[in-house]
Amino acid sequence: MSRTNGFFDHSAESLIRGLRKGAISPREIASLCIERFAQAEGAANAFVLFDPEKIMEQAARSEEYLKKNGAPRNLEAIPVGVKDIFNTKDYPTQMGSPLWKGFTPGNDARVVHTIRLAGAVVAGKTETAEFAVHELGRAINPHDARRTPGTSSSGSAAAVCLGVVPYALGTQTAGSIVRPASFCGVYGCKPSYGLVPRTGVLKTTDTMDSIGFLALHFEDMLRLFEEMRVHGRNYPLSNAAFLDPERRRKPAGRRWKVGFLKGFLWDRMPEYARDSLLEWARKLAENAADVEVEEVELSRSAERAHEIHATIYNKNLSYYFQEEYRKRNLVSETLKSLMESGFSIQPERYLNALKEQESLSAEMDGLLRSYDAVISLSTAGDAPLRGEVETDDYALLWTMTHTPVVSAPVFVSPNGLPFGLQLTARRYNDLLLLDFASFLRSVGMIPEKAEPPVRG
């Protein structure tokens, strides 16, 4: 087994096949993770906690399972990085804050418990921003240490980007999966709001917190998505959508209906990013037998998305972190500023913002009914320098309106740095969105996998 590039050379799919054939062992997979961590520059910054002994203990349990049962489970022995706002029974959960240093919840978040039942190995806790907000932590961008790796899911994106793990869990309340995926040049997936249970995960904003993941190989995305999401009649809205054949897969013989979004942020994006997306859309339209592309028009109400989001977000922060705010010497100026803005928001204004969010969600659902997918930029170009403000993008709009999103590592800037293509679809059309992404992969429009970072 080649260990030079860690999991760049070994997808989860290929490893599960190897386990079925008896060609590899869980301990060998664990060694791949541990050795890559030791050799990859920046890996220690991507993880808050990484314990080779714990990884090997979990691999040993996987070997016992295989001896007893023969066939591997769906995530058998696959190392997964876990953002340090998810409860874990065998690691502290410190949420990027000195106030919670050494805190041990004693249990697993529900989604962590779920992937463990499927055989996954928790490879460690990945670096996050303070309380998953905006204050960047220790994680560095593996492509350029001077630049941001994104904010709250930064460690998860960096860990995947370095090939230490094939997957890492993340969360998104604005753009905290899509942006790190774009800036670090890996795949990101934010499922429809509510599809992945949030029990045992730090709460920041009730109507927007979403759980997803970062991935190295495109072929691995469906496997983890299906393990993480809820299933069955106890979830009637999503279950009905997932049982609808036309919301799961495009009917044979029909062309893909694709919306191309420029929108109200277009003029704020750098020319190289706009040109990249325009050229990509032109190439997609060349597959005329399979694809119909048309430009999407957003309503004026969508232009208020960032304002509505700030009202809801800041008010929630001022509520959930009141105790932490009292210990101001251990709270960043960034968080204090957002909370102070939240304290000034009157209940009536907050409730109106929630109504506007609900109305905009319904409006976007109506718009997206007409398309299998809508394409836009994941971010307004490549990663800004650390400390610079990240430019607005459409990730926040899709998060606020509860739609599924995939960020694909498609573009390279004039600086030689990655940035992503964003795909979205109607809420609960997650499988259709992944099916469309699979079509894009089949015609060479998105890559098989992320590329290893090469620092110039």
- What's the confidence (pLDDT) of residue 391? 74
> CA 195: distance to chain centroid?
14
Catalytic residue flag (residue 153): no
Residue from 11, 62, 152, 276 carrying the catalytic annotation: 152
Distance in angstroms (rounded) separating the CA atoms of residues 79 and 33:
7
The top-level CATH class assigned to 6-239 is alpha beta
The per-residue pLDDT for range 296-317, each reduced to its tens digit, is 999 899 999 999 999 999 999 9
pTM of the full predicted structure?
0.97
Residue from 83, 125, 190, 315 carrying the catalytic annotation: 83
- What's the confidence (pLDDT) of residue 2? 58
Would the pLDDT of 52 be above 50?
Answer: yes
Contacts of 76 (CB under 8 A, 6+ apart): 16, 19, 26, 62, 65, 66, 118, 119
- What's the confidence (pLDDT) of residue 1? 58
Residue 220 and residue 167 in contact, taking contact as beta carbons nearer than 8 Å: yes
Q: 456 pLDDT band (50/70/90 cuts)?
A: very low
Would the pLDDT of 455 be above 80?
Answer: no
The partner residues of 217 in beta bridges, in order of sequence, read 449
Q: What is the mean pLDDT of residues 23-42?
A: 96
Among candidates 279, 301, 439, which has minimal Cα distance to 357? 301
- Count of CB atoms situated within 10 Å of the CB of 454: 8
Residue from 11, 154, 176, 182 carrying the catalytic annotation: 176
The per-residue pLDDT for range 215-259, each reduced to its tens digit, is 999 999 999 999 999 999 999 999 999 999 999 999 999 999 999
Catalytic residue flag (residue 176): yes
Catalytic residue flag (residue 152): yes
